A and B are shown apart, each in its own frame.
Chain A
């Protein structure tokens, strides 16, 4: 049995369903992200695990024990809040020591563990600082140290990096990942930032409107999104209408003037979803989707193209490798490997 199990977890406010029958198995040591747009029920889910929101239905099991029946103060979970929620009247060291005091850890061991926890998050020299004298990033680290020092069964992080500026956020992502690997604590992170979820997690739970859309490893969810919502939420994608016909063990896919052979048995009107970075330029040979370069934007390490084709506009991202690239108003052919194209029936069947 998995370490942490959410089974058919549900929360309603009156008629409004905030979280609908969410089931999730988390392995020991795993890093899971709950990813979705604002209001999709991520925080509610996390708060049900932490014990601050009571589930309307379903069960939460930690190592086989029922968590719902347990008081929040007895659950032994480390929580990092979006606002950090540090105790403003205590120094960094006192903040971190609080949980150990509650566990009645002896003075000497407590000091030792507080010092180690602050070292771990790179705040060795800040023990006597008050939170108001610290930057957002430093407060964030104190909050992390405070949650980790009690050696929690599970670490719960609610948008911990969203109040930091872009550069610091990236640094903290790398650091967070490294700390989690070092300590090995099972972690659930809530975020609306798909790149953050993909950078940090072993698996992502993509949520939308209180429902789970897909649970998968980041690369899998990105390459093989289970629903159009997942495809759209995990980065840019092109959605192209076409037709498919099964012919002698193979599926022939036609998108405007382009043709592909696919292994996916599907018939009739289809939508093909292709990531912009999977599309390559080629000459305008017969059977190839052709188009006109409308705009070309240089973005340092890559080029962003908008191409007008018979199937509608197509975005293409090409690495900036130094070689000559098509210019605006050039006529180009577009190719991609059949396996880079996710096909689904146009009428919504999968």
Chain B
């Protein structure tokens, strides 16, 4: 490994500061005792964290986001497995077209998708429902789930499955006992990435969500349109804290580097 020169170090340092500064500032502002957005100059206070409790719609929106992310990611992932295996293994007519189609939600502006879903769902009677929200998020996160599933399906040695077949395993047994365990790390990473995408999505969700099915980011977005008090910063700080706890737990259980790289538990 080569060592970084001073310029490269400076560059990395500036980059990290640039990335972290907004997060750090939000977290500090969350502890302000004042009634407006300001850096706490005299003393820290938990005032705005206590205020969250007076807004049950934030708590509810948080749970909507969690369930929405978990469900839509799981559905997208289970759809991505057969798609990834087919694309990774077989050369067939329209294979490239199919792969492009699956990736296309990435290329459509979320605003356009949002308006399209709004119209579509109200036509089929799903307007403002949680089901509609889940369906729209499945579409949004599918490319991310497919990406990582595809990466692990492509990286797998076909001979391992052939070995199982030669030992007498049926197609389903091969999938359950060999294929699935081997692509599982990719699936876990894909689910995590999809979850983050779903949790994060505002632009499209604003159009699809209705009162009662608002996600946390949408709730916050609507709130800061009318109010400029530090409540959103304390909500943000809470989410950041939960994320940090989740990451530490994941790292302990599984190894974060592995998770993000989609690498197997079996690889060194």
Contacts and interface: CB of A to CB of B under 8 A. Distances in A.
Interface stretch (A33-41, A72-80, A291-299, A303-311): A72-80
A309 B79 CA distance: 74
Nearest to A75: B166
A73 B168 contact: yes
Contacts of B159: 81-83, 85
Contacts of B168: 73-74, 76, 99, 102-103, 150
A50 B162 contact: yes
Nearest to A150: B167
Contact of B169 (A75, A85, A89, A102): A102
Nearest to B181: A89
B264 A52 contact: no
A87 interface: yes
B163 A132 contact: no
Given A85-B160, A87-B178, A50 B166 contact: yes
Interface in B135-191: 157, 159-160, 162-170, 173, 177-178, 181-182
B265 A89 contact: yes
B166 A79 contact: yes
Interface in A53-109: 72-79, 81-83, 85-89, 98-99, 102-103
B266 A81 contact: no
Contacts of A73: 165-170
Contacts of A146: 163, 167
Given A73-B165, A132-B268, A87 B160 contact: yes
B162 A102 contact: no
Nearest to B267: A132
Contacts of A98: 164, 167, 169, 177
Contacts of B177: 87, 98
A130 interface: yes
Contacts of B182: 88-89
A52 B162 contact: yes
Contacts, number: 72
Contact of B157 (A85, A103, A130): A85
Q: Which of B168, B170, B182, B264 has the most CB of A within 10 A?
A: B168
Contacts of B268: 132
B168 to A, nearest CB: 4
Contacts of A77: 166
Contacts of B165: 51-52, 72-73
A87 B181 CA distance: 10
A83 B162 CA distance: 12
A50 B167 CA distance: 11
Nearest to B264: A88
Interface string A117-129: 0000000000000
Nearest to A78: B166
Contacts of B265: 89
A143 B267 CA distance: 19
B178 A83 contact: no
A88 B179 CA distance: 11
A83 B267 CA distance: 15
A163 to B, nearest CB: 13
Nearest to A76: B168
B163 A85 contact: yes
Contacts of B267: 88, 132
Nearest to B174: A73
Contacts of B170: 73
Interface string B245-268: 000000000000000000011111
Contacts of A150: 167-168
A89 B162 CA distance: 16
A87 B164 contact: yes
A50 B162 CA distance: 9
Contacts of B266: 88-89, 130-132
B77 to A, nearest CB: 19
A103 B169 CA distance: 9
Q: Which of B165, B177, B268 has the most CB of A within 10 A?
A: B165
Contacts of B181: 89
Contact of B166 (A72, A88, A103, A131): A72
A31 B172 CA distance: 34
A86 B160 CA distance: 6
A348 B165 CA distance: 46
Contacts of B164: 87, 98
Nearest to B161: A85
A255 B165 CA distance: 58
Contacts of A52: 162, 165
Contacts of B264: 88
B162 A99 contact: no
Nearest to B166: A79
A324 B75 CA distance: 82
Closest 5 CB pairs of A and B: A99-B167, A102-B168, A85-B159, A88-B266, A79-B166
Given A88-B267, A99-B168, A102-B167, 13 more contacts: A50-B166, A52-B165, A72-B165, A72-B166, A73-B169, A77-B166, A83-B157, A85-B157, A88-B160, A89-B266, A102-B169, A146-B167, A150-B168
5 contacts: A83-B157, A88-B267, A98-B177, A103-B168, A131-B266
